Amino acid sequence: MSPVLDETAGDLPVRDVGLMSGGLMPAAPGLYTQRLFRFPKEHLEDLCLRLQEENNVLRQHTRTQEQRLRRMSTRLIRLRQTHPGSSGMKERDMEDTIQGLEARVAMLESQKGALQNKLSLAKQHIMDLGGRTPYKFSKGVSARGRRGEQIKLRFKNIVFILIVNKKIE
């Protein structure tokens, strides 16, 4: 059978040709490659960074969706296994409550760490503002005098303000 009459003739690879006034002529690959790659380097770098950021966001989104899917599948399995009058419902509710409380504990621990950092920064700031003694370990009344009491009051006020602001948030 000749390739022209063959049914798979359309599946054969064909060289790209350009249409010219004299008929069909092969396209010159050298002319178009110069036009295709004239993008500024900064534009390509920005595009690459944007694509990387978008890729990271999409990966994070897929992870969260996978976690939700896992949770929902385990809930569905539990629903199929438990009967309406069984204690499985109570256990599932308890597990959900425990998961919620664990998430809250993690959030509160992160807030605690942030508050401790703020407190240490405030202490450092107060120490920087306070009067410096010529001797490293001297804490006598004569060296600090009334200034030491003012520093303690400022520190207490700053800690109080931090606590009040955190409660408001």
Better-scored residue on pLDDT, 11 or 153: 153
pLDDT of residue 153: 77
Burial 48-65 (b: 16+ CB within 10 A, else e): eeeeeeeeeeeeeeeeee
Distance between CA atoms of residues 122 and 117, nearest Å: 9
pLDDT of residue 128: 78
User: pTM for this structure?
Assistant: 0.29
Distance between CA atoms of residues 151 and 132, nearest Å: 12
Residue 13 binned pLDDT confidence (cut-offs 50, 70, 90): low
pLDDT of residue 2: 52
Which is it for the CA torsion 90, 93, 99, 101, positive or negative?
A: negative
Reported as a single tens digit per residue, the pLDDT across 27-77 is: 555 555 555 567 788 888 888 999 999 999 999 999 999 999 998 988 888
Average pLDDT, the chain: 74
pLDDT of residue 137: 57
Distance between CA atoms of residues 112 and 148, nearest Å: 28
Taking 70 as the threshold, does the pLDDT of residue 159 lie above it? Answer: yes
pLDDT of residue 90: 76
Q: Where are the domains of the chain?
A: 40-83, 91-131
pLDDT of residue 14: 59
